[in-house]
Amino acid sequence: MFKPAALALATASLVFASSASAETAQTERHKVEATTIAEGLSFPWGIAFLPNGDEALVTEKSGTLRRVGMNGVISDAITGVPDVVYKSQGGLLDVAIDPNFNDNNYVYLSYSEADPDGGEGNSTAVARGKLIGNNLQEVEVIFRGAPKYKSGAHFGSRLVFSPDGYLFITLGDRYSAMDDAQTLDNHHGKVVRIWPNGTVPEDNPFVGKDDALDEIWSYGHRNVQGAAIHPDSGELWTVEHGPKGGDEINIPQAGENYGWPIATYGVDYDGSIISDQTHAEGTVQPHYYWLPSIATSNMIFYTGDEFPAWQGDALVAALKTMKVARLDLEGNRVMHEESLFEDLIKQRIRDIEQGPDGAIYLVTDDRNGKLIRISNADE
């Protein structure tokens, strides 16, 4: 339980998370320690560290954005956050910090948005605002998924800045609209690339083409809930939540088709066949995939000093299997996979991030969600 504290952070009142003893486990290359930094978060979805390294912004799916200190202090709700459609898989989703935050204070949020014209549909939207104290100011919507569609499923979405300043937004196919992933007149099942102010780069692959939306970078995706920039190549890698079987890693290239739903390694949840093809002409095969599914969420490339033997590896968080998959990479090739933290976390893992200190931070998808630090316990 939380205890009120007579402290102040910006304009927020604060609470302390209950203390928890650390647990350790041996992995193939490192002994690790898991420490609960904070708990009592309501289905947290995204983490983004502020430049000072002492705090992270954490989204709660119900529509709340909070500051969480590395000392376990959780702020009241940050004001100014856009209204969200909190339903099924929808709500307040990812959070990202502008690469030039120290100069402009911009924070970016992805969320499920109701139809502003009063219709029954919704879609993934992205807004940005300036974080001043505990308030988001000058909030503007920079992207609205089209069309608005009546569904509570498959919104995506991760927000990733490329080294050259573009903002990638990953989206879902909305489940019952899966066939839209193969057409270019909508945002369902797409990866989008825009500038941070919402304008479209002139070199996007479908700019100026009839029956195609200018924002689209790649298509034929199912539900892309993870994304990261490769530290050496600068390329975008994505993790796509598959059906029953067929979670995928892709390296989306401009204008390419990644096959969903005409080619898949999975079946529907009731066992029915979605497609009898795993390969289809004109589509790109997944770079890596899982059978059975691990229920992927987000991913990172580890670059810190806390775990020297993991440097350059991809770490993919999972929901159903409550673990992190460590992919040992040689260039882009996956040479080996190791399952991490299964006996430490014991909750669905919704997000994974590398902290400024080189430790790994996880949030768990639970009514009593936790922020957990994974640190090195090698002797």
Q: Which residues are catalytic?
A: 154
Say if CB 188 and CB 174 are below 8 A apart. yes
How far apart (Å, rounded) are the C-alpha atoms in residues 50 and 37? 16
List the helix and strand counts (H, then E) for the chain. Answer: 1, 27
Helices assigned H by DSSP within 1-134: 101-104
Tally the C-alpha atoms within 13 A of residue 215's C-alpha that lie toward its C-beta.
Answer: 24
Token representation of residue 218: 């790649």
Say if CB 293 and CB 247 are below 8 A apart. yes
Phi/psi at 182 (5° precision)? -100, 0
How far apart (Å, rounded) are the C-alpha atoms in residues 300 and 312? 10
Helices assigned H by DSSP within the chain: 101-104
Pairing state between β 369-376 and 360-364: antiparallel
Say if CB 376 and CB 307 are below 8 A apart. yes
Question: Which residues does residue 124 pair with via DSSP β-bridges, in sequence order?
Answer: 112
Closest residue by Cα to residue 177 from 158, 193, 157, 154: 154
Question: Which residues does residue 41 pair with via DSSP β-bridges, in sequence order?
Answer: 369
Total number of residues shown for the chain: 379
Contacts of 146 (CB under 8 A, 6+ apart): 123, 186, 187, 213
Closest residue by Cα to residue 253 from 231, 230, 279: 230
How far apart (Å, rounded) are the C-alpha atoms in residues 265 and 241? 12
Report the amino acid identity of residue 141. V
